[in-house]
Amino acid sequence: MRKPLVAGNWKMYKTPKETEEFLKAFLPFVQNNEIAEIAICPPYTSLYIAHQQIKDTSIKLGAQDVHWEDEGAFTGKISCKMLRDSGCHYVIIGHSEQRTYFYETDETVNKKIKKVLSNHLVPILCVGETLEQRNQNQQKEIVKMQIEKAFQTIKDIGETVIAYEPVWAIGTGINATPEQAQEMHNFIRSLIQSLFNQEVAEKIRIIYGGSLKPENAKEIFSQKDIDGGLVGGASLKPDSFYKIIQSVI
Ligand code: PEP
CA of 233 to the centre of ligand 1 (A): 6
CA–CA dist 138, 222 (Å, integer): 25
Q: What is the pTM of this model?
A: 0.98
Is 67 in the active site?
no
DSSP 176: P
> In total, how many domains does the chain have?
1
Which residue range(s) make up the domain with 20? 5-246
Using a 10 angstrom Cβ sphere, with 0-12 exposed, 13-18 middle and 19 or more buried, the burial of residue 159 is middle
CA of 73 to the centre of ligand 1 (A): 32
Q: Is residue 209 in contact with ligand 1, taking CB distance under 6 Å?
A: yes
Which one from 37, 104, 165, 185 is the annotated catalytic residue?
A: 165
CATH number, domain with residue 194: 3.20.20.70
Closest among 198, 243, 195 to 217, alpha carbons compared: 243
Q: Is residue 171 in contact with ligand 1, taking CB distance under 6 Å?
A: yes
pLDDT tens per residue, the chain (249 residues)? Answer: 899 999 999 999 999 999 999 999 999 999 888 889 999 999 999 999 999 999 999 999 999 999 999 999 999 999 999 999 999 999 999 999 999 999 999 999 999 999 999 999 999 999 999 999 999 999 999 999 999 999 999 999 999 999 999 999 999 999 999 999 999 999 999 999 999 999 999 999 999 999 999 999 999 999 999 999 999 999 999 999 999 999 996
Q: Ligand 1: which of 91, 170, 175, 216 to mutate, judged by most atoms within 8 Å of the beta carbon?
A: 170
pLDDT at 31: 85
Which one from 95, 97, 104, 185 is the annotated catalytic residue?
A: 95
DSSP 168: G
**3-class secondary-structure state, position 223:** coil
